[in-house]
């Protein structure tokens, strides 16, 4: 009987472990450690024990004085270098033992330790260098590294350096010859490291010219100080703007130096004579400010002293002038004041810069009106001119650049005599001739009238300016100072007031052209307004604000000549090159040739047209024959010569004697130019009253 698939329990046999593959040779670099260089479990197998659970023992191996072989983590071959500079080969074997005590010895494998270049090594550190200010020092390093370095492989040494700081005047340098490197320290006069502290020098030492294998070595340089006086470099002018409220700062650390004494230990003081400026000094910075409304230049003396010596330096504080707005004061107005008749408002004005151009008054919603006078002024308030009731009166002064702060009063205007009846607005007439160009002070005269017989006032203004009071009413005059306005066209407005309403303003266009003494295109009055020289023609060509446009171009465009951000909107016109004489000659000849060619073409077309017309007329005259065939022959004889003949061989032009003979019928008794053949009916004569065909 045969049994299959039968399994009997009992002791399993234990077989020896065996290798599934040879342990390969390995290669490592000199000085390297490899705790898990080879996983031995990959090369052994056993029927009883898992390869990773087997016991591995390193048997004897070569060069054990330089390299150590051991087992790590149970089944890894651990390679540790004992001598980092050794290189060569190690051969060995490994025994694998299973849990049943059976073992196997591996093949012999080789571990090759490759030679690796070693960087240079230090024999003795490079000493720190300490010298006195204005001293010097030198040391050398031989190219075999002595006396500070050596190389295991005996290679020559390469050296370069780097500094932790490179202050001016240190004077550290490197040189070399065929056998050594030379390092020299020669500080400049007054140089020391009191402020910077010792400077670290880092040497890079290599045994290859490309510095692929190197070490770093450091040492320090200390230059001790010898007492020197402090120094002050030139301090530029310190600029302020009048009334800006922003102080200028001057950091004296940027200008004061002492080689031996730290800045904080120097004694620093500032002195000046003009009380219009003040200087606060703190932590090396001077804060400089000016008094209100002051401008000008103030010299300031800076004193700096160390423990032995004091030095001084003079600099200037320059306060740039700016325009200050004027101030206006009213003597006899207050809130709640009741005005029920004619009232003279009085006051004064002042300006730090010493100039007041106008004092203006605004009553209610009316326009601003000019008062009489400037520094001491008055304004005649006629209650008949303004709406009655609670009214706001504003007063301001103008210095030509800026207005003052307005003074505002709320008063009550009353007029018990004002009639309630409506009236017609007043009319105003200008009797002076304002034609031509006006200059200087021009007196304008005229009249005003109203249906009520009363004119309260006459006012005049130019363009968008303020209304100014004329002298007189029914007969009035006004002095116009043209120097207050730019040269060119302006609109003059004149209006009258009858105590109730204003009349429609009279508009007159005037042309202002003040004298131009230097002939530069800018009138004298405008040159004074723009702060130019009326007698210097060159200032019109200057470009004060550097925007690419001259003062004259900006004057014509009415832009600020001292503000580069504001300039004429139009581009400068490009200068056209003049046409040369020869260009004009060649252009004329070319045009003449074109005319001649066109004329010849027209003449040839006209000749062809004449030939065609003549052929048609001949055909008409001879087409009256008896037969259609004869008519066609006559047509051929008439048309073809006319179409293909040259102008010289063609028929006569219309209007000539020959054409008349060809076109007219034969006279009585005259033989026709071509008699019809025998038996052919002659052409029909024209009917009575019929006009013969014409060419």
What was the pLDDT predicted at 617?
66
Residues 6+ apart with CB under 8 A from 522: 487, 516, 530, 532, 540, 551, 552, 555
- Compute φ and ψ for 471, nearest 5 degrees: -90, 120
The CA R_g of the chain, rounded to the nearest whole Å, is 60
d(CA 246, CA 238): 13
Lowest mean pLDDT among 123-132, 493-502, 507-516, 637-646: 637-646
pLDDT at 678: 46
More reliable by pLDDT, 188 or 106: 106
Q: Which residues pair with 182 in a beta bridge?
A: 140, 175
Tokens of 692: 């013969």
Element (DSSP H or E) covering residue 217: strand 214-224
**pLDDT confidence tier of residue 27, bands split at 50, 70 and 90:** very high
Position 642 scores a pLDDT of 53
Provide the H-helix boundaries in 445-580: 524-529, 551-557
Q: In this predicted model, what pLDDT tens digit does every residue of 471-520 receive, in sequence order?
A: 998 899 999 988 778 788 999 999 998 877 888 899 999 998 877 777 78
Average pLDDT of 97-113?
92
Q: How far apart are CA 481 and CA 490, in angstroms?
A: 13
Domains, the chain, in order of start with CATH, read 18-114 (2.60.40.10), 121-224 (2.60.40.10), 231-320 (2.60.40.1080), 323-418 (2.60.40.10), 597-663 (no CATH)
Complete edge-to-edge strand list for the sheet that includes strand 285-290? 248-251, 285-290, 277-282
How far apart, in whole angstroms, are the C-alpha atoms of residue 35 and residue 438? Answer: 110
Which stretches of 500-625 are DSSP H helices? Answer: 524-529, 551-557, 581-622
What pLDDT score does 244 carry? 81
Q: Concatenated DSSP letters for 10-42?
A: -PPP-PPPEESSPPPPEEEETT--EEEEEEGGG
Q: Is the pTM of this model over 0.75?
A: no
- pLDDT tens figures, 346-374: 999 998 878 899 999 999 888 899 999 99
- Burial of residue 210 (number of CB atoms within 10 Å: 0-12, 13-18, 19+): exposed
- Residue 340 to residue 352: CA distance in whole angstroms: 37
564-577 mean pLDDT: 58
Burial class (CB in 10 A: 0-12, 13-18, 19+), 626: middle
Cβ neighbors of 326 (< 8 A, separation 6 or more) are 349, 350, 351, 356, 397, 398, 399, 402, 403, 404
With tokens 């001119």, the residue in question is 385
User: Token pair of 339, please?
Assistant: 């005005």
pLDDT band for 1, please (50, 70, 90 cuts).
very low
pLDDT at 303: 92
Name the strand (E) or helix (H) holding 628.
helix 628-644
Q: Which residue has the tokens 């006086």?
A: 229
Q: Which of 44, 38, 71, 68 is nearest to 57 (CA)?
A: 71
What is the Cα 46 distance to its own chain's centre?
84
What does the pLDDT look like over 545-566, one tens digit per residue? 878 889 888 888 888 887 777 7
Are 515 and 439 in contact, with CB atoms under 8 Å apart? yes
Q: Give the 3-state secondary structure of residue 419.
A: coil
139 pLDDT above the threshold of 80 = yes
User: Are residues 474 and 448 in contact, defined by beta-carbon separation less than 8 angstroms?
Assistant: yes
Chain Cα centroid distance, residue 583: 43
Tell me the per-residue pLDDT of 596-615, one tens digit each, with 9 for 90 and over: 888 888 888 888 877 777 77
648 pLDDT more than 50: no
| Mean pLDDT of all residues in 24-32 | 90
* Tens-place pLDDT, residues 141-153: 998 889 999 888 8
What CA dihedral angle connects 470, 476, 482 and 487, to 10 degrees?
110
What's the rounded Cα separation, in Å, for the pair 155 and 686? 139
Label the pairing between strands 285-290 and 310-320. Answer: unpaired
Which residues 6+ apart lie within 8 Å of 555 measured at CB?
521, 522, 526, 530, 540, 561
Mean pLDDT of the chain: 81
Contact 466, 359 (CB under 8 A): no
Q: Which residues contact 257 (CB under 8 A, 6 or more apart)?
A: 230, 231, 232, 233
What integer pLDDT is reported at residue 420 of this predicted model? Answer: 46
pLDDT in tens, 423-458: 688 889 999 888 888 888 889 999 998 877 788 899
**pLDDT one-digit tens code per residue, 247-292:** 999 998 999 988 778 888 889 999 999 898 999 988 889 999 988 8
- What is the number of residues in the chain? 695
Q: How many helices (H) and strands (E) does the chain have?
A: 5, 45
What does the pLDDT read at residue 619? 67
Confidence at residue 96, expressed as pLDDT on a 0 to 100 scale: 92
How high is the pLDDT of residue 537? 83
Residue 232 CA to residue 343 CA, distance in Å, equals: 68
pLDDT 10s digits, 191-227: 878 778 898 999 999 988 888 888 899 999 998 877 7
2's CB contacts (< 8 A; 6+ apart) are: none
């Amino acid at each position: 009987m045969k049994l299959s698939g039968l399994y009997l329990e009992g002791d399993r046999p234990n077989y020896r472990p065996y290798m599934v593959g040879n342990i390969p040779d390995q290669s490592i670099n000199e000085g390297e450690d490899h705790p898990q260089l080879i996983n031995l479990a990959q090369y052994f197998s056993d029927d009883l024990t898992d390869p990773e659970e087997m016991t591995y023992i390193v048997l004897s191996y070569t060069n054990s004085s330089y390299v150590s072989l051991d087992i790590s983590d149970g089944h890894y071959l651990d390679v540790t270098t004992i001598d980092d500079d050794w290189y060569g080969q190690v051969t060995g074997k490994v025994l694998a033992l299973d849990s049943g005590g059976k073992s196997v010895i591996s093949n012999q494998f080789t571990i090759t330790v490759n030679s690796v270049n070693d960087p240079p090594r230090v024999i003795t550190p490079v000493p720190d260098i300490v010298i006195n200010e204005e001293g010097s020092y030198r040391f050398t390093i031989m190219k075999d590294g002595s006396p500070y370095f050596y190389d295991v492989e005996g290679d020559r040494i390469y050296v370069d350096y780097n500094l932790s700081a490179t202050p001016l005047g240190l004077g550290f340098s490197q040189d070399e010859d065929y056998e050594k490197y030379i390092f020299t320290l020669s500080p400049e006069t007054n140089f020391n490291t009191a402020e910077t502290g010792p400077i670290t020098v880092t040497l890079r030492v290599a045994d290859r010219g490309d510095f692929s294998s190197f070490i770093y070595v450091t040492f320090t340089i200390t230059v001790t100080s010898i007492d020197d006086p402090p120094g002050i470099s030139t301090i530029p002018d310190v600029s302020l703007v009048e009334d800006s409220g922003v102080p200028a700062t001057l950091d004296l650390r940027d200008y004061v130096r002492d080689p031996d004494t730290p800045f904080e230990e120097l004694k620093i003081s500032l002195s000046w004579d003009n009380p219009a400026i003040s200087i606060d000094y703190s932590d090396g910075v001077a804060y400089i400010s000016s008094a209100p409304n002051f401008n000008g230049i103030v010299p300031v003396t800076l004193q700096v002293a160390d423990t032995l010596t004091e030095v001084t330096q003079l600099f200037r504080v320059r306060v740039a002038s700016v325009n200050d707005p004027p101030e206006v004061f009213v003597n006899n107005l207050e809130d709640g004041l009741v005005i029920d008749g004619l009232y003279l408002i009085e006051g004064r004005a002042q300006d730090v810069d010493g100039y007041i151009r106008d004092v203006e008054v605004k009553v209610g919603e009316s326009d601003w009106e000019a008062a009489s006078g400037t520094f001491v002024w008055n304004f005649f308030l006629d209650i008949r001119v303004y709406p009655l009731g609670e009214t706001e009166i504003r007063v301001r002064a103008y210095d030509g650049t800026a207005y003052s702060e307005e003074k505002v009063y709320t008063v009550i205007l009353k007029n018990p005599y004002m009639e309630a009846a409506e009236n017609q607005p007043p009319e105003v007439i200008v009797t002076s001739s304002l034609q031509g160009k006006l200059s200087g002070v021009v007196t304008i005269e005229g009249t005003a009238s109203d249906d009520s017989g009363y004119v309260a006032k006459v006012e005049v203004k130019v363009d968008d300016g303020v209304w100014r009071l004329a002298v007189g009413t029914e007969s009035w005059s006004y002095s116009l100072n043209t120097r207050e306005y730019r040269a060119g066209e302006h609109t003059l407005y004149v209006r009258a007031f009858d105590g109730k309403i204003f009349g429609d303003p009279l508009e007159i266009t005037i042309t202002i052209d003040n004298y131009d003494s230097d002939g530069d295109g800018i009138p004298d009055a405008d040159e004074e307004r723009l702060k130019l020289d009326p007698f210097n023609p060159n200032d019109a060509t200057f470009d004060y604000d550097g925007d690419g446009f001259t003062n004259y171009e900006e004057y014509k465009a009415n832009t600020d000549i001292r503000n580069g951000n504001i300039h004429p909107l139009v581009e400068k016109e490009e200068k056209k090159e003049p046409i040369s004489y020869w260009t004009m000659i060649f252009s004329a000849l070319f045009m003449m040739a074109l005319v001649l060619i066109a004329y010849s073409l027209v003449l040839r077309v006209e000749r062809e047209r004449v030939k065609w017309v003549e052929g048609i007329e001949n055909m008409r005259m001879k087409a009256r024959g008896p037969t259609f065939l004869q008519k066609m022959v006559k047509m051929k004889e008439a048309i073809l010569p006319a179409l293909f003949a040259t102008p010289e061989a063609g028929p006569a032009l219309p209007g000539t004697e020959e054409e008349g003979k060809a076109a007219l019928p034969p006279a009585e008794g005259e033989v026709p130019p071509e008699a019809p053949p025998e038996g052919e009916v002659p052409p029909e004569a024209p009917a009575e009253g019929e006009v013969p065909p014409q060419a």
